[in-house]
Structure 1
Amino acid sequence: MVAGEASGDTLGSELIISLKKRFPHARFVGIGGPKMLAQGMESWYPMERLSVMGLFEVLKVLPGLVKLRKELIQRLLDLKPDVFIGVDAPDFNFRVEAAMKAAQIPAIHYVGPSVWAWREKRLLKIKRWVDGVLVLFPFELPFYEKYGIPAKFVGHPLANQVPEPPNRKAARQALKLPENALITGLLPGSRSSEINLLIDVYIQAAKILHQMYPTMQFVIPCVNDKAKQCIQQSLETYGQGLKVRLLDQQAQLAMEASDQLIVTSGTATLEAALMKRPLVLAIKLHPITHWIMRRLATTKWIGLPNVLARKTIVPEFIQEDASPQQIALGLAKLISDQTLRDAQLTEFDAQYHQLKQNASELAADAILEWAELRPS
């Protein structure tokens, strides 16, 4: 198994649990994060080496990634595993999956790439590279059926992990946050490239919000020590006077404890929606990355809640629109306008029930079928 970032680590760990029910003595190797390691996986390389976002950003580390992937493929070919599962990280994993399939090792990709958003023609190659794709959203299946690729909608594991209903009071008690304070969660991403581009903007937006709401406090989950140092530096520069609590990971608990959120795009926006917390999306990419993606995009939205709803329910602030002023004013509207707030929450509740399948169990069943494995 190979996962490339925090969300993939979560998916991978849940899948390992389900596969171990069927194969109690199975061995899991490859690349994973702390959650996968906690389930007994042997990670041959640090997952952080794969956690790079954006086309331009990848170019700077591409030689190292190519070397790592070559070594990984050879180690896997020498080991001859019963099945290879790439968890997201499509640009890295599809090449590995192609090498496995060529060696007659079943290759399965967990989390279909965003072919519904851009570059649908990738499916022509994906058909040659994989034996099956596990998709998280129901609207994805027709794309794979169109190209004759085995695919299964498994729902999203996050919908099973999110408490129903979320308990703001208990989350605040767990984090030792004041029960009746107005708290905003800031989630600037899990990748270093995201955090470096966004954290100053997020802290400056928090400063404006604090001027509008003097009692407002903030909570920021930090994916690792490097991220925490970066965030602390930004707070020293731009966050004087703010009440900010930095957490070691605990992103879901931070969301649950918050009244509203500012979130980078990606899985975090979906997690926030499933947690039924009002939010705005704010993201900056390298200018070249943004230019390329904008030209290739086939959907008008970045945030998953908007893609699922097929309309804008979460305000999206992208590139130059992701200014501290616009982000702060966008969130302030959600705080003051109950109609806007309720519209988001109604849609989020519908998405929660749509995506709440037994994802990891369904994924494990599909893997057994496609890889022709029999439970022990």
Structure 2
Amino acid sequence: MTLLYLIAGEASGDVLGARLIAALRARDPDLDFAGVGGERMAEQGFSSLFPMRELALMGLLEVLPRIRSLSRRMDQTVVDIEARRPAAIITIDSPGFTLRVANRVKPLGIPVIHYVAPQVWGWRQGRARKLGRKLDRILALLPFEAPFFTAHGIPVDFVGHPVLESGADRGDAARFRAKHGLAPDERLLIVMPGSRRTEVSRLLPVFGATLALLPPGIRAVVPLAGPVEEAVRAATAHWPRPPILVRDVAEKYDAFAAAEAGLIKSGTSSLECAVAGLPHIVGYRLNPITAQIVKRLMKVRFVSLVNLLAEREVVPEFLQDACNPATLAAALRPLLEGGATRARQLEGFADALGRLRPPEGTPSDAAAEAVLRAIGR
């Protein structure tokens, strides 16, 4: 058996890892897998070295209190790689952890393939060339990433974005409404505060207060990401109107189909909504000190991937102080009312998503083919 070592650090990377494992096994049953992953990878028979939720952190000030624990987990990962000597290491997003591991194992001579290009093109362009000393190849999700990293001397495969094969556009609204016994006049709003504990603690109180300012009859649906499920349940337990909490991915997409709009943190969740044809707004907050650092270094106009792809503001973005209940509620009302604002978003979604497709097959197929080429199989 040829061993591939995968390292994912958050919910979205766990999904990518699971699909990649399935696509690789379909092509080569003589592959084995080890490393760090979550529930979705476990569904593929993957056994994680330690619970992935321990890595679901973001921001310098959030990481510092956990630095010793993270350092121990990094040591543990490096020792495991040294012992197993895999044919390749596939690090999946979560650059704060995965790229440090990549740097430490580089002397072993094992190829390191990074799945999801680090967003240095957005705010730390000077670091791109340094990545070439850690990584042997990048699997890029976004079309503009390939020329950027190639120009910095790093081999890149544009594989497309796996959100295209997520099934987000195949939800069943009637099934969701029937399951939860919703009255015909009950209207649904998708609320997605993120998959990291720091995101949930910072965004969910703001999102909850936003709901109180919306018209009567609006009920929240909150999809649960594994690493933060307990935190979300606790934070929403005392909302005046209990939200519908959704754990299953298929049910989440049913909720998308049944909802009228979304209040979303930036990232892959915005692309999911676009695939589902769900109009939404983006709200996001970082620790103020982290935010000031990012603001000074930022090289792009937008944080929403939909907007970056379309090269214009399709989805309204509200960051830091602008991410407040009054502003968010005012931006949601036109989407809930329908009309031209809603229609413009849907047109923009089609434009953005059309740029995400790989040259052939699905994104997971393209990623699997790139990995197999890299290890000579």
Q: TM-score, normalised by structure 2?
A: 0.92
The answer to whether the 8 Å contact 1:181/1:216 transfers is: yes
Residue 332 (structure 1) aligns with: 333
Residue 266 (structure 1) aligns with: 267
Name the CA shift for 1:12/1:114 in 2 (closer, same or farther; >3 Å). same
Q: Does 1:26 align with 2:27?
A: no
Deviations 1:36-77 (A, max 9, x none): 011011100110111001122111212211221122111101
Cα deviation, residue 313, structure 1: 1.3
RMSD: 1.9
AA in 2 matched with 1:189:
G
Count of matched residue positions in the alignment of Structure 1 and Structure 2? 367
The SS at the match of 1:121 is helix
For residues 6 and 175 of structure 1, what CA distance do their matches in structure 2 show?
Answer: 25
For residues 288 and 335 of structure 1, what CA distance do their matches in structure 2 show?
Answer: 34
The answer to whether the 8 Å contact 1:220/1:244 transfers is: yes
- Which of 215, 218, 222 aligns to 1:216? It is 218
For residues 192 and 313 of structure 2, what CA distance do their matches in structure 1 show?
Answer: 20
Residue 346 (structure 2) aligns with: 345
Within 5 A, what are the aligned runs for 1:52-91? 52-91=57-96
The SS at the match of 1:85 is strand
Residue 306 (structure 1) aligns with: 307
- Which of 186, 195, 200 aligns to 1:190? It is 195
What runs of 5+ residues in structure 1 fail to find an aligned partner?
A: none
- Which of 119, 123, 126 aligns to 2:131? It is 126
Cα deviation, residue 264, structure 1: 0.8
Cα deviation, residue 158, structure 1: 1.2
The answer to whether the 8 Å contact 2:172/2:253 transfers is: no
AA in 2 matched with 1:186:
V
- Which of 35, 41, 53 aligns to 1:36? It is 41
The answer to whether the 8 Å contact 2:115/2:140 transfers is: yes
Within 5 A, what are the aligned runs for 1:8-23? 8-23=13-28
Cα deviation, residue 125, structure 1: 1.2
Name the CA shift for 1:60/1:20 in 2 (closer, same or farther; >3 Å). same
Within 5 A, what are the aligned runs for 1:251-290? 251-290=252-291
Residue 293 (structure 1) aligns with: 294
The answer to whether the 8 Å contact 2:256/2:276 transfers is: yes
Residue 247 (structure 2) aligns with: 248
For residues 178 and 269 of structure 2, what CA distance do their matches in structure 1 show?
Answer: 23
For residues 138 and 226 of structure 2, what CA distance do their matches in structure 1 show?
Answer: 30
Cα deviation, residue 350, structure 1: 2.7
Which is further off, 1-10 or 311-320?
A: 311-320
Residue 322 (structure 2) aligns with: 321
Name the CA shift for 1:12/1:179 in 2 (closer, same or farther; >3 Å). farther
Deviations 1:262-283 (A, max 9, x none): 0011111111111110001111
For residues 51 and 20 of structure 1, what CA distance do their matches in structure 2 show?
Answer: 27
Name the CA shift for 1:84/1:229 in 2 (closer, same or farther; >3 Å). closer
For residues 314 and 43 of structure 1, what CA distance do their matches in structure 2 show?
Answer: 36
Name the CA shift for 1:356/1:275 in 2 (closer, same or farther; >3 Å). farther
Name the CA shift for 1:179/1:153 in 2 (closer, same or farther; >3 Å). farther
Q: Does 1:361 align with 2:362?
A: no
What runs of 5+ residues in structure 2 fail to find an aligned partner?
A: 1-5
The answer to whether the 8 Å contact 1:155/1:359 transfers is: yes
Which is further off, 260-269 or 226-235?
A: 226-235
Which is further off, 41-50 or 344-353?
A: 344-353
Cα deviation, residue 198, structure 1: 1.2
AA in 2 matched with 1:187:
M
Cα deviation, residue 234, structure 1: 4.2
Cα deviation, residue 230, structure 1: 4.2
The SS at the match of 1:183 is strand
Within 5 A, what are the aligned runs for 1:95-174? 95-164=100-169, 166-173=171-178
Deviations 1:10-35 (A, max 9, x none): 10000000111122142211110100
AA in 2 matched with 1:295:
R
Name the CA shift for 1:163/1:234 in 2 (closer, same or farther; >3 Å). closer
Cα deviation, residue 176, structure 1: 4.8
Q: TM-score, normalised by structure 1?
A: 0.92
